[in-house]
Amino acid sequence: MLFKPAQPTNPMTADPTFRHAHAPAPGTTRDPRFDILFEPVRIGPVIAKNRFYQVPHCNGMGHGRPAALAAMRGVKAEGGWGVVCTEEVEISPCSEIAPNFEGRLWDDRDLPALRLMTDACHEHGALAGIELMFNGYATPNRYSREIPMAPSHLPVRHLDPVQARAMDKRDIGNVRRWHRNAALHAREAGFDLVYVYAGHDLGLPMHFISRRTNRRSDEYGGSLENRVRFLRELIEDTKDAVGDRCGVVVRLAVDQLLGPGGITAESEGRDVIAMLAELPDLWDVNIADWSNDSVTARFADEGYQERTIGFVKSVTSRPVVGVGRYTSPDAMVAAIRRGVMDLIGAARPSIADPFLPNKIDQGRVDEIRECIGCNICVTGDHLCVPIRCTQNPTMGEEWRRGWHPERIAPVHGRHASDTALVIGAGPAGLELARALGQRGVEVTLAEAGRRLGGRLLHEAALPGLASWMRVVDHRVHQLKRMPNVTIALDSPMRADDVLDFGFNRVFVATGSRWRKDGLGRQHRQPLVDPTLAQVFSPDDIFGGAVPASPVAIYDDDHYVMGGALAEKFARAGLEVHLVTPASKVSEWTEMTMEQARIQGRLLELGVHLHTAVELVDVTVTGAGLTIQLNSIYTTARPSTLGCASLVLVTMRDPCDELWRELLARQDRWHEAAVRSVECVGDACAPGTVAAAVYAGHKAAREFDAVGGDPDAVPFRREMIRIES
């Protein structure tokens, strides 16, 4: 039951020992168990101040948004990462990856943009690394329109009807020269580490090494020693050019996970490392391709690459960095002590919490925003927009909105004394209350249920998604340490209740509900009678309903829900049919690089997949249903599917009734001291968990910006300067 703001219902929020999340406790010190993580590591001529190494990762900003990129990398350096690297950086228009925004170092005109990043890293004592890239057959060169090159004639990896031509000796010489020039330019731009890239099945040296892509018969083909020749030459060229000043790093995928037809850690992966063991200053090792290197938490646990890369230190004396979505300092220490790696590589954990190293150093391990492994970060690169993160709503907004992941200014001006009521404790409400609390606002978070978490209480219980609950756990932990935040459970709200309490600012974050009438992307009008006993929504399932077998799932949402429910039902022993108008199961998860794994798992579980068909009619037949399906391409091929129950995963409606009721009573706001009522997160427009967290954070940031210019662009833009 909700009480007046002066009467906190949660005793933990009233405990004077609890503190703001961003302020370290007096006398806090590092746990001695983690001292090894803060030992310096020499990398050729340079020294990393600790073992925290942000490996290269794409971000949707690259050469197109260099100021935003530099600010994002600079925040990581500020957060304590000893090494901060770029994304892949193109070295020539003969190998560019438009429309994606990667780095670019074609000539000296690219240096000013890159210096922004090195300056930002050096300001906080981090080494800056650059991953030089020539993509070979992995790109169709859509912008430059140059013909791609590869060791042998090959179609490009993309669907473009383009082929890469086989390189001759002059081409090989040209690429070596371009790479050397780029290394020299990188040194001029202030980089401390320069990469030779042979990872992810994207870099040209990998294409030479792999028998799958190298059919040459000259000194660059045939034996492994010949196939490694190009990589060796690039390393030697780079060391000769910049090795006196910069550490030279080789990034190598030691296993393509293709079995005997590809590079494997047991054979050629090991042999390549052994051949070149002492040549680079650092080995950055992983597995190919990117979807394997960055597997979502649904399909891989923390440290999952150790079993593949664990051999590397046994064949080289050079330091080794590897990745595995490490978020636990205990797991990091264990990897080092067991001799798996010398530096803890991270992309996704550094995105979720740029201050992860500092929090370990300052004894604030419990404040780490742990990566949930959802790969929303990857979608920014795929969609050519700035990176975003479910756990860290400030990611990608450091420059354009001025958001810092740890600091947020106290509310000032006439709103400094405003009190806030946040209704609903899902991802939007939790982040909104947390950020408002951090800003010093007196906040009451009212939740109708008995648990905090909203939609995540259900979604995180689906197969493989348990890590998503970290979104809730992190915020609840912070909220309970804030004396200015009151948490009220079991407190459903009506408009009269809200107006009677006298909060100045009201935020409605009451979430959304799944429809069960078929309305969605494919059908813009209701299609199914939602009162049928055999028809269910995901909310019905979360509420304890058990569909009868066989069950059909109609997925017009195309993200994780349809596939996760199918897996849940199949594991419970039901016969499952997944029907979707998309050409693939959970098609949008192509953006998170898990679609193939989802579809493969469902096939392994015996789920019947019906793709590229739409549901057009449902009729009751006895105790079950007959579903009529049509091909999305032609109505000449109708089909029917008999089932006992149907689960519709199409779209959600916002639960905005309270917000609308409060708007209808605006005439009472003044006497109730209410200054504003806002609808936030899924209650405004249903979306991803990342979108909900972002919406909550944005509302908190704009708490004292009410009444601003609605026509103004709300963030800074990087404008192209037209030369006269």
Higher pLDDT, 353 or 415: 353
Q: Which amino acid is at 638?
A: P
Please state the separation of Cα 551 from the chain's center in Å.
Answer: 32
* Rounded alpha-carbon distances, angstroms, from residue 577 to 83, 198, 554, 555, 596: 48, 42, 9, 11, 18
Question: Does some domain include residue 407?
Answer: no
Find out whether the peptide bond into 35 is cis, omega within 30 degrees of 0. no
Question: Does some domain include residue 391?
Answer: no
Considering the candidates 289, 293, 361, 517, report the single residue annotated as catalytic. 293
Using the predicted structure, report yes or no on whether residue 345 has a pLDDT greater than 70. yes
Tell me the DSSP string of 100-164: S--EE-SSGGGHHHHHHHHHHHHTTT-EEEEEEE--GGG---TTT-PPPEESS-EE-SSSSS-EE
- Dist. CA 2–CA 491, nearest whole Å: 5
Residues forming a β-bridge with 193: 129, 247
Domains in the chain, number: 3
Q: Which amino acid is at 495?
A: A
> In the structure, what pLDDT confidence band is assigned to residue 237 with cuts at 50, 70 and 90?
very high
* Rounded alpha-carbon distances, angstroms, from residue 386 to 59, 120, 373, 535: 6, 18, 18, 40
Q: What one-character DSSP code corresponds to residue 394?
A: T
- Do 179 and 269 lie in one domain? The reply is yes
Q: What one-character DSSP code corresponds to residue 349?
A: H
Stretch among 10-14, 144-148, 574-578, 698-702 having the lowest mean pLDDT: 10-14
Question: Does some domain include residue 724?
Answer: no
- Dist. CA 704–CA 616, nearest whole Å: 49
Count of CB atoms situated within 10 Å of the CB of 553:
27
- Do 488 and 582 lie in one domain? The reply is no
Count of CB atoms situated within 10 Å of the CB of 199:
27
Decide if 492 contacts 661 (C-beta within 8 A): no
Range of the domain at 53: 37-383
> In the structure, what pLDDT confidence band is assigned to residue 1 with cuts at 50, 70 and 90?
very low
CATH number at residue 659: 3.40.50.720
- Per-residue pLDDT of 646-703, as tens digits, reads 999 999 999 999 999 999 999 999 999 999 999 999 999 999 999 999 999 999 999 9
Is there a catalytic annotation at residue 246?
A: no
Q: Is 528 helix (H, G, I), strand (E, B) or coil?
A: coil
Report residue 608 as tokens: 């019947």
pLDDT given at position 11: 27
> In the structure, what pLDDT confidence band is assigned to residue 709 with cuts at 50, 70 and 90?
confident
- Do 224 and 361 lie in one domain? The reply is yes
pLDDT given at position 347: 97
- Do 232 and 257 lie in one domain? The reply is yes
Considering the candidates 53, 197, 220, 326, report the single residue annotated as catalytic. 197
- Per-residue pLDDT of 368-396, as tens digits, reads 999 999 999 999 999 999 999 999 999 99
Considering the candidates 57, 200, 577, 697, report the single residue annotated as catalytic. 200
Boundary-marking domain end, from 652, 681, 712:
652
Question: Does some domain include residue 405?
Answer: no
Considering the candidates 58, 85, 371, 679, report the single residue annotated as catalytic. 58
Higher pLDDT, 706 or 431: 431
Q: CB burial class (10 A; 0-12, 13-18, 19+) of residue 211? A: middle
pLDDT given at position 317: 97
Q: Structure pTM?
A: 0.94
Q: What one-character DSSP code corresponds to residue 324?
A: S
Report residue 22 as tokens: 């961003």
Q: What's 535-550 look like in SS3? A: EECHHHHHCCCCCCCC
* Rounded alpha-carbon distances, angstroms, from residue 670 to 84, 576, 649, 673, 676: 52, 55, 42, 5, 10
Q: What one-character DSSP code corresponds to residue 721?
A: P
The mean pLDDT value for 579-594 works out to 98
Q: Is 263 helix (H, G, I), strand (E, B) or coil?
A: coil
- Do 541 and 637 lie in one domain? The reply is yes
Q: How many residues does the chain have?
A: 724
Question: Does some domain include residue 402?
Answer: no
Q: CB burial class (10 A; 0-12, 13-18, 19+) of residue 568? A: middle
Question: Does some domain include residue 256?
Answer: yes
pLDDT given at position 724: 58
Tell me the DSSP string of 15-61: -TT---TTSPPTT----GGGGGGGS-EEETTEEESSSEEE-----S-
- Do 642 and 668 lie in one domain? The reply is no
Using the predicted structure, report yes or no on whether residue 24 has a pLDDT greater than 90. no
Task: Label the pairing between strands 645-649 and 535-536.
Answer: parallel
Inter-helix orientation angle 229-242/169-188, to 10° = 30
Decide if 352 contacts 359 (C-beta within 8 A): no
Is there a catalytic annotation at residue 197?
A: yes
Using the predicted structure, report yes or no on whether residue 361 has a pLDDT greater than 70. yes
Question: Does some domain include residue 397?
Answer: no
* % of the chain residues with pLDDT over 90: 91
The mean pLDDT value for 398-408 works out to 98
pLDDT given at position 10: 32
Report residue 372 as tokens: 């949930």
- Per-residue pLDDT of 76-109, as tens digits, reads 999 999 999 999 999 999 999 999 999 999 999 9
> In the structure, what pLDDT confidence band is assigned to residue 8 with cuts at 50, 70 and 90?
very low
Report residue 388 as tokens: 């975003």
- Do 293 and 274 lie in one domain? The reply is yes
Q: CB burial class (10 A; 0-12, 13-18, 19+) of residue 473? A: middle
- Do 288 and 371 lie in one domain? The reply is yes
Using the predicted structure, report yes or no on whether residue 122 has a pLDDT greater than 60. yes
Boundary-marking domain end, from 366, 383, 400:
383
- Do 87 and 173 lie in one domain? The reply is yes
Decide if 507 contacts 678 (C-beta within 8 A): yes
- Max distance between CA atoms of the chain, in angstroms, equals 86
Using the predicted structure, report yes or no on whether residue 480 has a pLDDT greater than 70. yes
pLDDT given at position 710: 84
- Do 427 and 524 lie in one domain? The reply is no
The torsion region of residue 510 among left (phi > 0), alpha (psi -120 to 50) and beta comes to alpha
Count of CB atoms situated within 10 Å of the CB of 213:
21
- Do 284 and 374 lie in one domain? The reply is yes
- Dist. CA 112–CA 114, nearest whole Å: 5
Boundary-marking domain end, from 629, 652, 675:
652
> In the structure, what pLDDT confidence band is assigned to residue 601 with cuts at 50, 70 and 90?
very high
CATH number at residue 112: 3.20.20.70
pLDDT given at position 21: 38
The mean pLDDT value for 295-303 works out to 95
Decide if 167 contacts 256 (C-beta within 8 A): no
> In the structure, what pLDDT confidence band is assigned to residue 16 with cuts at 50, 70 and 90?
very low
- Dist. CA 688–CA 46, nearest whole Å: 42
Residues forming a β-bridge with 164: 154
Using the predicted structure, report yes or no on whether residue 23 has a pLDDT greater than 50. no
What is the rounded average pLDDT for all residues in the chain?
Answer: 94
Question: Does some domain include residue 16?
Answer: no
* % of the chain residues with pLDDT over 70: 96
Is there a catalytic annotation at residue 124?
A: no
- Do 162 and 151 lie in one domain? The reply is yes
Residues forming a β-bridge with 443: 420, 485
- Dist. CA 395–CA 385, nearest whole Å: 12
pLDDT given at position 27: 54
- Per-residue pLDDT of 157-212, as tens digits, reads 988 999 999 999 999 999 999 999 999 999 999 999 999 999 988 899 999 999 99
| Nearest-10 Cα torsion for 700, 705, 707, 712 | -100
The mean pLDDT value for 119-142 works out to 97
